[in-house]
Amino acid sequence: MDGAVSEAAPRLDLAGKHIVLGLSGGIACYKAADLTRELVKAGASVQVVMTEAAEHFITPVTMQALSNRSVATSQWDAREPNNMAHINLTRGADAVLVAPASADFLAKLVHGRADDLLSLMCLARPIERCPLLVAPAMNREMWAHPATRRNLAQLRADGTTILGPDAGDQACGEIGDGRMLEAVELLEEMVAFFQPKALRGKRVLVTAGPTFEPIDPVRGITNLSSGKMGFAIARAAQEAGAEVTLVAGPVHLPTPRGVQRIDVRTAQQMHDAVLPAARRHDVFVATAAVADWRPATLSDQKIKKNGSKIAPTFELTENPDILAAVARLPDRPYCVGFAAESHDLLKHARDKLERKNVPLIVGNLGPATFGRDDNALMLVDARGHRQLPQADKLTLARQLVAEIASRLSTASA
Ligand code: C5P
């Protein structure tokens, strides 16, 4: 092989999951079509159930074609051998997701009303085995109304998971809270919902991406880190139930849902953001490829060619080592470092373990990972090392998060 790495197979985050997707009446029904596609693409089987009001916004034909199953719309559907669609629909289901959930439908759920198939089915579902999630969609005044506030509090108390809503432009022309989340956001929420909650109640701080060390107003020193591995770790930790803070160097990546992001540019800024926050966290994962050096002086004007053909020279000064500084804190979080090397991975990772005085170093080959969607990791600690073989970065991040969680629970046992 020439050192190239083969692409990992696409991840099917919802493989084996059966989801009942309920649609109540609202303009956001148009998003349910895309949501069905996203869920199916992620490996789920999807059974659509629609209220009569939903059928005014989107047809069962569309939903049937996208879900590849006939849509259930009535409790009087004689096609069911036992004529009990409201029971049968949820018995093999892993979750019911109502998206969109109108204000009226939420009110019906609160009161246990059961005068149409979807509300009847929600009431008749096995509450311990089949969780209910709702994605509200309504006008901002309806969302803010005390009746809706009361209903949401009661739904939460009854164990319902509320997804969103978002704020922004509304179909009615007004602007505010109440827009249903987009299909990809709902997919991300569903995937997270099914992940094991190994870090529930923990706080995780992650650094990601490169840093940029300015030379003059238009140039600087940086590296090829894309930030993908660090962002995947932040997402995986959040999926595992942690409260996550992500300190990101200059990258163009969307913030994982539910993660608090702090953007920085230089190593010094990253250091200044991380150090005061570190004490408040249980885990620190230093994924960022921090520049070791920065120009000693910053030219406030663009450095020009001076015609003499003599290239300018720079003096460099060392950047603070963020990981080592966190590891020196008296009440330090559990620290995980990364080693992106071009060769002798194990040797360099071992060296970092000691030099930075951290319990776990994650090694990877820089040229084989920078910018890519997949990677292979080597976990190195004082006792030995273990490979996490080639996979997409989110899969690896979930494995790493599970490993960190088990080390935390062993440490606190
Ligand atoms: O050998 P190196 O110092 O580059 O070690 C890499 C590890 O240390 C990574 O976890 C990286 O995020 C962290 N690091 C840091 N601050 C630096 C340099 C590296 O936190 N200035």
- How far apart CA 203 and CA 104 sit, in angstroms, is 37
In the DSSP assignment, the letter for residue 252 is -
Give pLDDT, residue 340.
86
Residue 273 has pLDDT above 60, yes or no: yes
Give pLDDT, residue 411.
77
| Domains of the chain as residue ranges with CATH | 18-194 (3.40.50.1950), 203-295+309-412 (3.40.50.10300)
The pLDDT-based confidence of 8 (bands split at 50, 70, 90) is: low
- The CA-based diameter of the chain, rounded to the nearest angstrom, is 92
Ligand 1 center to 359 CA (angstroms): 14
Instruction: Show the ligand 1 pocket: residues with CB < 6 angstroms.
Output: 207, 267, 286, 288, 290, 292, 319, 321-323, 337-339, 352
Residue-level length of the chain: 413
Instruction: Please tell me the least confidently modeled range out of 118-122, 266-270, 363-367.
Output: 363-367
Mean pLDDT of the chain: 94
Catalytic annotation present for 172: yes
The pLDDT-based confidence of 413 (bands split at 50, 70, 90) is: low
Segment 107-117 shows an average pLDDT of 97
Tell which wins on pLDDT, 116 or 1: 116
Q: Which of 29, 122, 130, 172 is the catalytic position?
A: 172
Nearest CA to ligand 1 atom 2: 339
Task: State the DSSP string of 34-83.
Answer: HHHHHHHHTT-EEEEEE-TTGGGTS-HHHHHHHHTSPPB--TT-TTSTTS
How large a percentage of the chain has pLDDT more than 70? 98
Residue 122 has pLDDT above 80, yes or no: yes
Global pTM? 0.93
Residue 315 carries which side chain, given as an amino acid letter?
E
Contact status, residue 151 vs residue 110, Cβ threshold 8 Å:
yes
Task: List alpha helices for 158-266, DSSP H.
Answer: 183-194, 228-239
Q: Which residues, including other chains, have CB under 8 Å from residue 350's CB and lie 6 or more apart? A: 361, 380
Segment 382-401 shows an average pLDDT of 96
pLDDT in tens, 323-359: 999 999 999 999 999 998 888 889 999 999 999 999 9
